């Protein structure tokens, strides 16, 4: 997608572009029979993703830290769409124990799992450690989703095998993945306050989302698993995610208004990658404005992806043993 296409909204090779909405890219798609988990589905583009998925008749489970807000969102959707299949489970991705409990609670429902949308996140946080002692943006945006995905992989594999329907994992990344620390991931200083940058820490976590996608794909292909994993950049959208930088973002928007999206447009690439039949068999890719885009050199580094996977496993293991 060119800069001109971004501004004008002209469609790319997929037939969709930056101006396409989540309803546009899923028009005519019947998702009945599919079960989807959407993390952070109580507000912003996560909520719009949920709304459109249940409109297309999928059964959606919202994983949300604020259960009260998620249940209010659920009731709003049900008022518009009384036949919507929608449930809420508590999930705090910054917490190893909460993420593990969510996975156990979902598995206990004895439902299939066709699609996992790792949507939730935090952005530009002041330096803060999670309850497990992990830098908050890395803990929430990457590590929690890494743990959640691994905890649900057997369920997804079994669903794909028993139904013959391709499973899909969608990791929400960002174009901000290009603005990270030197060497991409500062493995030896993940939790250090010294040298911390809220912007680079966010970029690091978004780079991790793409690297996670890459290594997932390599493992799926090696195993012959019928699950695809892709990463997406939703675009610039003013949502609650920007609560730590509202003033900065509003100022930025004055000068870059022509590339900002509304929420329905922001949810489109997620819904496109999650549901569209044109992406059958497509995995390990990065999408922007409903079209494939080449990510940074760090995001294409296979060795870095493997290193991050092993680092993440070791980090979770060390926390779990405490």
Cβ partners under 8 Å of residue 168, min gap 6: 114, 115, 116, 227, 228, 229, 230, 273, 274, 279
Q: Which of 181, 196, 272, 298 is catalytic?
A: 196
Nearest of 190, 174, 197, 140 to residue 299 by alpha carbon: 174
Nearest-angstrom CA–CA distance, 118 and 39: 5
Nearest of 269, 240, 274, 230 to residue 21 by alpha carbon: 269
Mark whether 196 is an active-site residue. Answer: yes
Nearest-angstrom CA–CA distance, 137 and 198: 9
Convert 39-74 to b/e letters by CB count within 10 Å (16 or more is b). bbbbbbbbbbbbbbbbbbbbbbbbbbbeeebbbebb
Which run of H or of E encompasses 85? Answer: strand 85-90
Nearest-angstrom CA–CA distance, 162 and 164: 6
Cα 178 from chain centroid (whole Å): 17
Cα angle 94-95-98, degrees, rounded to a multiple of 5? 125
Packing angle, helices 198-223 and 302-321, rounded to 10: 100
Nearest-angstrom CA–CA distance, 322 and 312: 16
Spell out the SS3 assignment of 227-252: EEEEEEECCEECCHHHHHHHHHHHHH
Give me the residues paired with residue 181 across strands. 184
Q: Which residues have a catalytic role annotated?
A: 196
């Amino acid at each position: 997608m060119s800069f001109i296409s971004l501004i004008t909204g002209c469609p790319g090779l997929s037939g969709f572009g930056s101006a396409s909405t989540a309803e546009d890219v899923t028009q005519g798609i019947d998702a009945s029979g599919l079960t989807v988990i959407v993390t952070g589905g109580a507000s912003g583009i996560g909520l719009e993703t949920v709304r459109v998925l249940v409109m297309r008749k999928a059964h959606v489970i919202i994983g949300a830290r604020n259960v009260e807000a998620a249940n209010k969102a659920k009731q709003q959707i049900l008022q518009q769409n009384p036949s919507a299949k929608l449930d809420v489970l508590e999930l705090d991705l910054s917490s190893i124990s909460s993420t593990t409990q969510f996975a156990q609670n979902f598995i206990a429902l004895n439902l299939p799992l066709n699609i996992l949308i790792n949507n939730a996140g935090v952005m530009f946080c002041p330096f803060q450690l999670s309850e497990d002692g992990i830098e908050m943006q890395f803990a929430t945006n990457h590590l929690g989703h890494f743990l959640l995905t691994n905890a649900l992989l057997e369920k997804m594999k079994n669903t794909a095998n028993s139904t013959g329907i391709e499973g899909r994992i969608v990791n929400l990344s960002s174009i901000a993945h290009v603005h990270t620390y030197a060497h991409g991931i500062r493995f030896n200083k993940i939790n250090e306050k010294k040298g911390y940058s809220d912007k680079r820490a966010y970029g690091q976590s978004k780079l991790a989302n793409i690297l996670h996608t890459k290594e997932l794909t390599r493992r799926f292909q090696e195993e012959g698993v019928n699950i695809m994993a892709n990463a997406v950049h939703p675009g610039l959208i003013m949502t609650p995610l920007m609560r730590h930088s509202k003033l900065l973002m509003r100022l930025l928007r004055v000068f870059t208004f022509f590339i900002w999206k509304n929420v329905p447009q922001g949810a489109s690439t997620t819904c496109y990658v999650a549901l569209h039949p044109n992406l059958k068999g497509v995995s390990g890719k990065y999408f922007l404005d409903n079209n494939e885009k080449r990510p940074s050199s760090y995001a294409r580094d296979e060795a870095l992806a493997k290193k991050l996977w092993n680092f993440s496993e070791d980090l979770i293991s060390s926390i779990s043993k405490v």
